[in-house]
Amino acid sequence: MLTIRSLDVIYGRSISALEGVDLEARSGRVTAILGTNGAGKSTLMRAVTGVLGASGGSVTSGSIVFEGQDITSAPPGAIAAAGISLSPEGRRVFAGLTVEENLRVGGRLVDRKRRVENYERVVDLFPVLEERRRQPAVLLSGGEQQMLAIGRALMSSPQLLLLDEPSLGLAPVVVQRIANLIVEINRQGTAVLLVEQNSRMALAVSDDAVVLETGKVQMSGSAADLASDPAIQSLYLGDAAADSDAWGATHA
Ligand SMILES: Nc1ncnc2c1ncn2[C@@H]1O[C@H](COP(=O)(O)OP(=O)(O)OP(=O)(O)O)[C@@H](O)[C@H]1O
């Protein structure tokens, strides 16, 4: 579905952020990208969604192909139209707009009939958004804003949903809910590419996983294999995470 080959990204003239990155996100699956601060996860998200230029980055070699279409240098609108949608890090809902208006913005690229269907799907997944639909997004809790950000991304009927740090800053019980919802969204047929510092949660909901370190892929494979790998356990699923709670939700 999404195939990234030998991708190199730099910021400015020479700051290397990604080097020779290979990644495959398959249809029907959840793929996790793990890595500590500065590993290159956000850079990869920017490259896939076509917004690298806005932060001074550029692809210097390699390719990003989605459903057979080369999107390596495509503008963000074309990438969205091709079927990729992002729920950004830090949620970034439109604080002054109501919940319903936020969702409508997410559905602006699809026709009215599809928009109504997608709205029904979103409020089925997140009933609280229907209850709060006339309230400004700023009044929602952190977890509800995360649900709104994911819901807004789903409004464009993506084939591939990108989730950038959906657990960031949320309480463990809310992280658990978000994790369950990721599984449900995937079960309904949407492929998911999940960027997470909360490795425990990410590996629990994913089929496949890639570990990035200083811009390079250190390891990739099935999430189950990675979760049982001693190096991953000590580096990403270590005691600090295990002590905090089942989902290691203190990574923010
Ligand atoms: N706009 C930018 N200009 C210059 N360097 C940047 C820029 N954005 C990121 N970098 C550098 O690129 C590298 C990868 O950063 P990136 O933000 O992609 O990592 P990350 O894994 O997403 O980390 P985090 O979880 O902290 O967001 C880092 O060395 C970072 O300092």
pLDDT recorded at residue 252: 37
8 Å CB contact between 157 and 189: no
Distance (Å) from CA 138 to ligand 1 centroid: 28
8 Å CB contact between 204 and 29: no
Count of CA atoms in the C-beta half-sphere (13 A) of 112: 0
Place of tokens 């356990």: 233
pLDDT recorded at residue 73: 84
Give the architecture (CATH level 2) of 1-74+161-166+190-236: 3-Layer(aba) Sandwich (3.40)
Q: Return d(Cα 198, Cα 194) in angstroms, integer.
A: 11
ipTM associated with this complex: 0.95
Q: Whose CA is nearest to atom 6 of ligand 1?
A: 11
The answer, yes or no, to whether any atom of ligand 1 lies below 6 A from the CB of 17, is yes
Beta bridge partners of 18: 9
Give the residue, out of 10, 41, 162, 167, with the most ligand 1 atoms within 8 A of its beta carbon, to mutate for a pocket test: 41
Q: Return d(Cα 1, Cα 28) in angstroms, integer.
A: 9
pLDDT recorded at residue 19: 98
What mean pLDDT do residues 107-122 have?
A: 94
Q: Which two tokens stand for residue 101?
A: 């208006």
Beta bridge partners of 191: 160
Q: What are phi and psi of 124, to 5 degrees?
A: -65, -45
Average pLDDT, the chain: 92
What mean pLDDT do residues 19-31 have?
A: 97
Q: Whose CA is nearest to atom 5 of ligand 1?
A: 11
> What would the 3-class secondary structure string for the chain be?
CEEEEEEEEEECCCEEEEEEEEEEECCCCEEEEECCCCCCHHHHHHHHHCCHHHHCEEEEEEEEEECCEECCCCCHHHHHHHCEEEECCCCCCCCCCEHHHHHHHHCCCCCHHHHHHHHHHHHHHCHHHHHCCCCEHHHCCHHHHHHHHHHHHHCCCCCEEEEECCCCCCCHHHHHHHHHHHHHHHHCCCEEEEEECCHHHHHHHCCEEEEEECCEEEEEEEHHHHHCCHHHHHHHCCHHHHHHCCCCCCCC
Q: Tell me the pairing of strands 208-213 and 57-66.
A: unpaired
Q: Return d(Cα 15, Cα 182) in angstroms, integer.
A: 34
Q: Tell me the pairing of strands 69-70 and 57-66.
A: antiparallel
What mean pLDDT do residues 5-26 have?
A: 96
Amino acid at 58: S
What mean pLDDT do residues 201-206 have?
A: 96
The answer, yes or no, to whether any atom of ligand 1 lies below 6 A from the CB of 35, is yes
Q: Whose CA is nearest to atom 1 of ligand 1?
A: 55
Nearest-10 crossing angle of helices 112-125, 172-187: 140
The answer, yes or no, to whether any atom of ligand 1 lies below 6 A from the CB of 53, is no
Residue-wise pLDDT tens digits, 36-62: 889 999 999 999 999 999 999 999 999
Distance (Å) from CA 27 to ligand 1 centroid: 28
Residue-wise pLDDT tens digits, 216-235: 999 999 999 999 998 888 88
Q: Whose CA is nearest to atom 25 of ligand 1?
A: 37
